[in-house]
Chains A and B, each alone.
Chain A
Amino acid sequence: MELYSLTAHELLEQLRGKKISAEQLRSSVSQRIDDTDSKVKAYVRLSGSRQAQEQPKADSGALAGIPISLKDNLCTEGSSTECCSRILAGFKPPYDATVIRKLKEAGAIILETKTNMDEFAFGSSTENSCFGPTHNPWDLDRVPGGSSGGSAACVAADEAIMALGSDTGGSIRQPAAFCGVVGLKPTYGRVSRYGLIAFASSLDQIGPFTKDIRDSCLLMNVISGHDPMDATSVEREVPDYTQSLGKDIKGLKIGIPKEYFIEGLDPEVKNRVEEAIAKLKNLGAVIKDVSLPHTQYAVPVYYILGTAEASSNLARFDGLQYGFRAKSPKLIETYKKTRGEGFGQEAKRRILLGTFALSHGYYDAYYLKALKVRTLIKNDFDAVFKDCDCLVTPTAPTPAFKIGEKSQDPLQMYLSDIYTISANLAGVPAISVPCGFTRAGLPVGLQILAEPFGEETLFRLGHAYEQATDWHKMKPKL
């Protein structure tokens, strides 16, 4: 077995037992990137150094010696962080994101090269990247999902042991499902956002991509917790998430929201998810039909609130302090040309949508209304979690689609987040775990959702399912 193909917990055991060195591991992963990334294109700016510029001591800390790949929107001091946007060309943050600092303290090796993404996380396919698309390791003609497509693909292709992404409306879970890996969006406030270049502040969360549930726990143990630099991070003790593993799920009440099994759901995906539910029932879980009645409003609410916040968060990219600048003798022209040339098409679309939603005379009808419906969606979850320990749904309505298939149809693209958006609006944690394949050999993801700070339930259920199946062990042929 090549080292790059192992999980972090397997590697940690070998590292601690001195069976292998961190250097061996690093070069194994590096070799793998050299061998396969020309096909997958999970990483950006790969021509440069791919090593962390600063190597921590590999023999201490919870993730000592484990290489970790980062989405291109996570700030690392002194190394390029560009959100795969031309407007941030050459931007090297003067500081580390809080999660990066924590990873370094835990002995993890931070890869200098970062993973591909839709520009500013605007997209569901990683096609909206100024560096070009990433290819799904299971079928190179298909997208890896998005926006954290690079992080999902590199873990699936064994080009990384684990990776971090960000999830605003499904940007971790949907690509995790498309690429057959485990992807978690933590509870809003569980992980500090300090140093995550914001898309929509009230929805964004950083989360792990891993090869299995145990690795997800290990990564969450390191990155979770209150951060005085992020006022929206919650002061609440971080449990040892690995304690949730290996427990049975007898009597665990699982809700199946009927609004998630509707027209537009691919029959094969539906079958795999139903098989998974049957499996969970066999394992002793109690399956209940439930309803989240405002589900149908999640997509429109998300595209109002998300774009409104994005239009504001992206206002700072004006070419004055950092990144790309289109020079002009006039200030206003510098603004216009910089933003006109620096942003891609989808970024411009969302900035315009959001600007419109916040404009005088439209605010009440769009932004304020959406805010109210968001509360209703949250109330739906509060209500079902009175009765259920968790919910199980498909992660995405379809398996990975073809590159180019939806890129000309933004509305179709937006619908690929239909099952993931609600968790962000409600702030609840949700995870995608591999639950089988289509006949064409494309992975399908099972989404599990729990009440706020219910990550332990996600891990408990996910792990029990993982123990009873082999989906997570499947590897794409590259």
Chain B
Amino acid sequence: MTYEPVIGLEVHVQLKTKTKVFCGCSTEFGADPNTQVCPVCLGFPGALPVLNRLALEYAIKVGLALNCAVQGFTKFDRKHYYYPDLPKNFQISQYDLPISKDGFLDVEADGLNRAVKIRRVHLEEDAGKLIHETQDSLVDLNRTGQPLLEIVTEPDIFSPEEAYQYLTGLKSIIRYLQVSDCDMEKGSLRCDANISLRPQGCAELGVKSEIKNLNSFKAVRDALGYEIKRHNETLENKEKIIQETRLWDDKTGRTVSMRSKEEAKDYRYFPEPDLPPVVISKEKIAEIRASIPELPKDKKARFIKDYGLSEYDAAILVASKESADYAEERLKACPRNYKSIANWLIGPMVSTGASLSCEIYQINITPENFAELISLVEEKQVISNLTGKAVLEKMARTGKSASAIIKEDNLAQISDEESLDKEVDAVIQANPKVVAQVKAGKENSIMFLVGQVMKKTQGKANPKKVQEILKRRIV
């Protein structure tokens, strides 16, 4: 029998508000343990939560960007469980009335374009961190009370690749909204995956496993791939799948059982009595909708339309809002030559960024200077492509314009025949054998002679011109 995997993802995204979701403590990453705490987030007796309005706005923004129905009436609930990273022994979360529900995200994977259904987006408080040492466990409550967005899909993902692309798209959108860094290493994006297999064409879901400890998108893809194989083998052997939570191990590339069938956990949800329900007006929602920037999908389409870029180029340029904005500023500064601008942004700029160890959009070259460089290389041919790349790097380091660098370093190409004649003559005389080969029809050998001229002019000769002159002289 052929089985089809069905996957659902639960993503937690830390919102980057300056202060926590229910108190005024800082959310800065990396502070000394237990220094960003107060009676409220420590759950001290008598302390009360007050909702951070910005966190609410961010949550609404994400809901809208994920095509959800943002609810006009929402409330918070308490979710109870005992754990040392949760000082109140309940988490303020949302149960039956999440801020947003019923959305979707367009995902392109396995040659298919699908809208993956999103069940709900809700706001909650993060728990603290436990650091387990050999003897004791230490508790750091700096993270306790940071605003966390839970984004849950329907079981509507059908391959590990699709899960991977969903996460990539989700991250890209949330980063466009500038409400989270979505940095898995720093824990500002976390993902759990549910997966089950069912006979192809069957509507019912099979028994699922929940996978935790997924520390990268790649881990999500690999773990799902592993689970599909494991489920398949189990089913082929006519064995039963046990509903369980499994931990992914990056090193071994396998999952191991953590606990079997959730011991019927009862979180005893009930409405948080310390926080009045939140009413969100249509005007507020409209206002937040208006503040949403152009999202990657639309931006890509527009780049293709407005600048005549290829799918491929456009996709690379819109990967992050910063790089897209950076690219667009430069595209606009050079309206005659969009294709070249895109090539330079995707090629030389990337290597320049790498050598400066920064992102492209952090490279300090103004749109005007960038446009000038490209025009000097591509149109006026004042410098060669190769020199152009060197100039680009120098521009990035110094902030100077291309023309200033060309002048300072005397890099301008020599294109006039008078200046080149002398050098060409010298090379012809010094290489009679090669000249003979060229004459005999071995045309490729002429490149050797061109190279010699370039060497003599320290790379400044216009190679096309040199080749032209050589041909004329020899043939």
Contacts and interface: CB of A to CB of B under 8 A. Distances in A.
Contacts of B89: 315-316, 318
B90 A196 contact: no
Nearest to B22: A231
Contacts of B463: none
Interface in A190-228: 193-198, 200-202, 228
Interface stretch (B12-20, B40-48, B301-309): B40-48
A93 interface: yes
Interface residues of B, number: 28
B46 A231 contact: no
Most buried by A among B45, B46, B51, B268: B45
B45 A363 contact: no
A95 B42 CA distance: 12
A312 B270 contact: yes
Given A309-B273, A321-B87, A198 B46 contact: yes
A312 B81 CA distance: 10
25 contacts: A75-B46, A88-B45, A93-B39, A93-B45, A93-B46, A95-B44, A193-B48, A194-B48, A200-B273, A201-B273, A201-B274, A229-B50, A230-B50, A231-B49, A311-B268, A315-B80, A315-B89, A316-B43, A320-B84, A321-B42, A355-B268, A358-B80, A358-B269, A358-B270, A363-B270
B29 interface: no
Given A321-B44, A363-B270, 17 more contacts: A75-B46, A91-B45, A93-B45, A94-B39, A95-B39, A97-B46, A229-B50, A231-B48, A231-B50, A231-B51, A231-B275, A232-B274, A311-B268, A312-B80, A321-B42, A358-B80, A363-B268
Interface residues of A, number: 45
B122 to A, nearest CB: 18
A194 B268 contact: no
A280 B459 CA distance: 109
Contacts of B50: 228-231
B88 interface: yes
A316 B84 contact: no
A93 B139 CA distance: 20
A412 B434 CA distance: 117
A81 B78 CA distance: 25
Interface string B231-257: 000000000000000000000000000
Contacts of B269: 358
A359 interface: yes
A304 to B, nearest CB: 11
Contacts of B90: 312, 315
B360 to A, nearest CB: 44
Contacts of B43: 316, 321
B276 interface: yes
Interface of B: 39, 42-51, 78, 80, 82, 84, 87-90, 139, 266, 268-270, 273-276
B156 to A, nearest CB: 27
Given A309-B273, A321-B87, A196 B42 contact: no
Contacts of B39: 93-95
Contacts of A332: 82
B140 to A, nearest CB: 13
Interface in A236-269: none
Contacts of A311: 268
A331 B84 contact: yes
Contacts of B46: 73-75, 81, 93, 97, 193-198
A201 B89 CA distance: 16
Contact of A316 (B49, B87, B274, B275): B87
A386 interface: no
Q: Is the interface of A mostly helix, strand, loop or mixed?
A: loop
A344 to B, nearest CB: 16
B266 A360 contact: yes
Interface in A355-370: 355, 358-360, 363, 367
Given A75-B45, A88-B45, A194-B47, A315 B88 contact: yes
B273 A358 contact: no
A108 interface: no
A322 interface: yes
B45 A232 contact: no
Contacts of A308: 270
B82 A318 contact: yes
A97 B90 CA distance: 22
Most buried by A among B50, B89, B268: B268
